[in-house]
Amino acid sequence: MEESLLLDTVERYNNGEMSAQELFHFEEMRKNNAEFDQMVVEHLFFIQDLEKYADFKRLKNRLNEIEDQLSVEGAISKSPLTGKSKLIYLWGKHKRTVAVAATIAIIVSISCFLIVSIFSNNKQNNIRPLVEKLKEQDVKYKKLENQIGKLKRANDLQAPIEKPRLESKFRATGFMIDVDNNYIITNAHVLNEVKNQLIVENNKGEQYLAESVYVNPDNDLAIIKITDRDFKKIPALPFSIKKTDADLGEQVFLLGYPKQEIVYGEGYISAQNGYQLDTIFCQLSTLANEGNSGSPVINKNGELVGVVSSKEANSEGVVYAIKSSNIYNAINEMRKIKENENIRITSKPILRKTDRVTQIKKVQDYVFMIKGN
Amino acid sequence: MNNNGQDKILLEGLARQNKESIELIYKANYKMIQNLILNNKGTIDDAADIFQESMIVLYEKALNPDFILTCQLKTFIYSVCKRLWLKKLQQQQRFLSQTDDFNQVVSVDEDLDLYKKRQASFDIMEHAMAKIGEPCKSLLEAYYIERKHMQEIASEFSYTNADNAKTQKYKCLVRLKKLFFAEYKNLK
């Protein structure tokens, strides 16, 4: 029996959701098939542990909630309020003001929402995110490629044993911003494609598992972390991340994965705001294709000035990139939400006076394919 | 005994994770525990942690339909907290001051052993959950902890329908199970 089917069955059994007939068959099967029974026992153990754990978590949440509330009311005392409880404390203090403000906000947001939704409908049609969905044939081709690779390796005993390649359903780009803790920046819309595994692949085709840490659809940025133990640290970041906007007309280049190998592209900043004057983005005149989402945009001084996000669907050569200053906002926000994540950008900018070819050589090791299934 | 009758109602409430009951238990006992901890080298935060732990011990007991409280609720909570704090201090190589203790204490070692065991298995599940990654973690939490309906989960996680969400849930569950048993073996 398939594993997930068995889990479903055992879960219904555990919850007493089986019909009398089904229950009878189930019990019969357990009696007559020791192997099956063994599996059921194992699954039951797991399901019951999970239920208990969930129950315990619910209790903990409830206790925290009550503690916070009581400490706001002054019924119990707690040490200087932090995080959530502080919010509740402030809420208690300013309830009325907040309520009035909220009413106003609701009225305002209704009127804004109408305008925004019309625009964003347009956006859907006119702007295309640049994630490449891999077709079935591609996947099959990959498999074939893997098998050939295996055969080759079997012939060549010297070759090290490699990890099996992970299948992926899409491809986009991302780049490293913290080499100490392996954080990578990509687009939020890229992560929408991930249903199971998130995979990071370098220019050599080596794959590593990653985890999404922070996703913000508003500025379309996401931070992911390579969690794979096999990942070997790479040297300090050769580019710095610019805190101010790039200048109009500034020459830039980008590196990304519109195909299964790294592709170089160049262009210039053609407008300082994005689609419909969205201030989060700037506009580039360059060519970008599916797979370029998340590509770093770098100026001639070797400073990162943007992250490619989408392109105009109706006119060729109009590409939108998220301004690099948003990366700092994203990091700050992430630090607030995820207190135990430790992220730090330390770069040793060495690209300032080097020629383009050297710049590309240095930067490409920091640009990764973002894949997933 | 009026007091015992009331304690019984509170315990039944706790077993249902009823908010009002838990609030009443907090209001009636929290200060006493805080004093105990503060007078014995602890901080306000230690007091909050210890009290919460005692609530979990009590919850475990309250869940058992055969459980009868043989002493006052107050005494039980005090005994559990004192024992827990004593252990914490011993771990830190510090000791409880031998001075005042006018409160009655009952033996709670058995309850605490059970609690410790339970905590260990929670840790295993917590580790497995932490390793599983998104969207599985959020999905499983939404279903098992927040007890959301599949329909709700489907729209929240933008699956086309509840059936798809359910399929995904079982895929995640299979992964969690693997991680769980891997962790389990690691610890054994």
Residues of A with CB under 8 A from a CB of B: 3-5, 7-8, 42-43, 46, 49-54, 56-67, 69-70, 75-79, 192, 194-198, 211-212, 227
Question: Where do the H-state alpha helices sit in chain B?
Answer: 2-15, 19-38, 44-63, 73-91, 109-132, 136-140, 150-156, 162-187
Instruction: Please name every residue paired with A281 in a beta bridge, in sequence order, or none if there are none.
Output: A322
Q: What is the pLDDT of residue A116?
A: 38
CA angle (A260 as vertex; A259, A261 as ends), nearest 5: 90
Judged by a CB distance cut-off of 8 A, whether residue B117 touches chain A is no
CA distance B155 to chain A (A): 14
For the domain spanning B2-107, the CATH number is 1.10.1740
Nearest-angstrom CA–CA distance, B187 and B15: 30
A153: CB partners within 8 A, 6+ apart: A159, A162
Question: What's the confidence (pLDDT) of residue A150?
Answer: 58
Give me the residue spans of the domains in chain B: 2-107, 117-187
| Residue A15 phi, psi dihedral angles, 5° rounding | -90, 5
Q: Say yes or no for a CB contact (<8 Å) between B122 and A56.
A: yes
Kindly state the tokens that stand for A162.
Answer: 């490699």
Question: CB-based contact (8 Å) between B26 and chain A?
Answer: yes
Of A56, A70, A78, the CB nearest to B23: A70
Reported as a single tens digit per residue, the pLDDT across B116-139 is: 888 888 888 888 888 888 888 888
Strand partners, A304: A241, A298
Q: What is the pLDDT of residue A101?
A: 58
Q: Considering only CB atoms, which chain B residues are within 8 Å of A211?
A: 133-134
pLDDT at position A274 is: 86
A69 contacts in chain B (CB < 8 Å): 23
Residue A62 pLDDT > 60, yes or no? Answer: yes
Please give the pLDDT value at position A192: 84
Residues of A whose CB is below 8 A from B31: 76
Domain boundaries, chain A: 3-69, 83-129, 130-373
CATH of B117-187, one of 3.30.420, 3.40.50, 1.10.10, 1.10.3470: 1.10.10
Q: Which residue of A has its CA nearest to B58?
A: A59
Report how far apart, in Å, the C-alpha atoms of A248 and of each of A112, A245, A304, A327 are.
30, 9, 15, 20
Nearest CA in chain A to B123: A53
- Average pLDDT value for residue range A116-142: 57
Query: Rounded to whole angstroms, what are the CA distances from A133 to A7, A64, A256, B83?
Result: 31, 43, 15, 59
A148 pLDDT above the threshold of 50: yes
Counting one residue from chain A and one from chain B, the pairs whose CB atoms sit within 8 A come to 104
R_g of chain A computed on alpha carbons: 26
| Residue-wise burial string across A127-160, b where 16 or more C-beta atoms lie within 10 A, e elsewhere | bbbbbbebeeeeeeebeeeeeeeeeeeeeeeeee
A114, pLDDT greater than 70: no
CATH class of residue range A130-373: mainly beta
In this predicted structure, the answer to whether residue A256 has a pLDDT above a threshold of 90 is yes
User: Taking a C-beta distance cutoff of 8 angstroms, is the pair B128, B183 a contact?
Assistant: yes
Q: Is the pLDDT of residue A255 over 50?
A: yes
